[in-house]
Structure formats: structure tokens, C-alpha cells
Amino acid sequence: MDIKWKNSVISAIGIILFLFGLGATISSIGSMHNLVKANYLQKSTYVKSEDFQKEIDRFTNDLYLLELTSKNKNTVNANTITEEEIESYRYAEGNLTEQIQNVHDKYEEKIEDAKQAKSKKVEDAYVKQRDLEVKNIQKKF
């Protein structure tokens, strides 16, 4: 009887020590995780981050350009556009009639498909878009 009692006491002590060891291990892992997490958060606060520094630099540059540089409103812009550049822009995609015809060709099939599908809203949207593009081309000229 005495031997059985000693074995059960030794087993109980072993289990208790095992549980204390397991608890200490889990606790230390949790503490290390919190320590690492605290250091990470401390090192990478937004105010100390590179993104924040870039944002501050951009803001100060914008402020400098907006407020601190004095521009004389009476000075003429040095970048003047010549008549030649205007003509080149106008005729880059062809003359007026060619450009208008290109727009009509571009929307012709889409408008026909909308008519066949009996979708008046889609047809009107394509016609409106086509007319807007033609109007913009006419403004160029």
C-alpha cells in the first residue's frame, strides 16, 4: 500500500511540475510577443515613418510655391504658343471634314446596333456622345 501511495504522489508532483513548466513557457512566449509588439509599434509610429516625412516635404514645397514665392501678376508668360503650333494641333488627325466623318463612322455601327435592339436610351446616349465629339472638333477649328 505504501508503494502505491508513493507512486501516486510522485505522479501528482510530476504532473504539477509539468503544468507549471507549461504555464511558464506560455507566459514567457506571451510576454515576448507583447514586448516585440510594443517595440514594433514604438519604432514605426506614423509620425516617424517615411510616408509621413514625404507628406511633410510635399506640403512644405506646395506651401513654398503657393505663398512664399512672389510672382508678379503683370509679367507675361514666357511660354507663348505660335500660330504654327495651333495649326499643327488642329490638323493632327486630318482636316475638319475628315475628323467629323471619322466620328460619325465610329458611332454609326453602335447607333445601328442600339436601333436594332430597340433601345432608345442607348441610341440617344450614342447620338449625344457623337454630337459632343463633333462639337469639340468644330471648336478646335
- pLDDT at residue number 80: 78
pTM of whole model > 0.85?
Answer: no
**Residue type for position 66:** L
Let me know: does 104 contact 127? Beta carbons within 8 Å: no
Burial class (CB in 10 A: 0-12, 13-18, 19+), 65: exposed
- pLDDT at residue number 97: 86
Q: What is the DSSP letter of 92?
A: T
What is the average per-residue pLDDT within 69-89? 68
CA-to-CA distance for 126 and 106, rounded, in angstroms?
A: 10
pLDDT in tens, 8-59: 888 889 899 999 988 888 888 888 777 666 655 555 567 777 888 889 888 8
pLDDT in tens, 90-112: 777 778 888 888 888 888 888 88
